[in-house]
Homo-oligomer: A and B are copies of this chain.
């Protein structure tokens, strides 16, 4: 069996109002499963990798059904711990026109947030693994989750496994724990080989202020100086005429160069959520398969672009779909 990519983080139930309706405008919710790390796991599986989610879910018909959805999309779920507790959720109101989407988190005291830091036996979980992916949402969820993320990354470091970290700063999630955020995040970044985040993330963690010129490059330089394992910093640039009309570009920094992808116009966006995770999975796929930095950021940007055409949090498309977009031979109907 080939070595797996381990994604550690909370699996969420997303409840969204149908179409472009506001919450409870009509008495129905569409359900999707998501979570930053689960999204990466699903997408990487669709790109041909073995992926496993390490997480905690409630031991209920609901928690089991959420794990089933992950398994449906090819992610290994045997490392999920089921215990008493509630399901982490979020309510989503899709945006439209000039009305932004709205995410209402309801994940406090979830089974994942409440799980003790030593829930996960990392030595065993990281056997036959090739990569660990963690995001900045996990330390935001609870102190024990923050500690668990740290233990995971230390174990991976010890086992010689590559690590990626997606900053994903969400002020509302940190709540009263916000003052600890910069330190906690930057400690996790110390282990990372790949960081997904832009200059605002770096500024937040390291108290950096751009002097002039290219803030992104300056921030990257500081990060490379600060985080000794770091090989790549990766982020997107998003221009916006309205909620439905945007443009997406990928950027990848190594210690020397900046690689910029083709820019994709995004018209009639189907589902914005998970776009960043699809992008991250695309870049990771590039790095895992030995692409050049330029090829990796192109693959990531195309993957992130395509996610906007798929309902739900997951990017369910495969390598062939991304390559079709990269080849610019797509057409409007394949038959």
Contact = CB atoms under 8 A, between A and B. Distances in A.
Contacts of A27: 26, 30-32
Tell me how many chains of this kind the complex includes: 6
Given A311-B21, A335-B103, A267 B246 contact: no
Contacts of A60: 104
Given A22-B61, A31-B27, A62-B23, A268 B265 contact: no
A219 interface: no
A309 B269 CA distance: 14
Nearest to A85: B108
Interface string A75-115: 00000000000110001010111111111111011000000
A268 B62 CA distance: 26
A97 B306 contact: yes
A335 B94 CA distance: 12
Interface residues of A, number: 82
A273 interface: yes
A21 B108 CA distance: 28
A24 B69 contact: yes
A93 B61 CA distance: 10
A103 B62 CA distance: 11
A26 B331 CA distance: 25
Contacts of A245: 265, 267-268
Contact of A311 (B20, B103, B105, B272): B20
Contact of A321 (B20, B72, B99, B268): B99
Given A24-B69, A96-B268, 19 more contacts: A19-B270, A20-B270, A22-B310, A24-B68, A25-B65, A27-B30, A29-B29, A29-B31, A62-B91, A69-B72, A96-B310, A97-B308, A98-B306, A100-B324, A102-B334, A102-B335, A105-B335, A240-B332, A268-B268
Nearest 8 CB-CB pairs, A to B? Answer: A72-B72, A103-B335, A97-B309, A24-B65, A96-B309, A99-B309, A244-B268, A27-B31
6 contacts: A24-B68, A96-B310, A100-B333, A102-B333, A103-B335, A240-B331
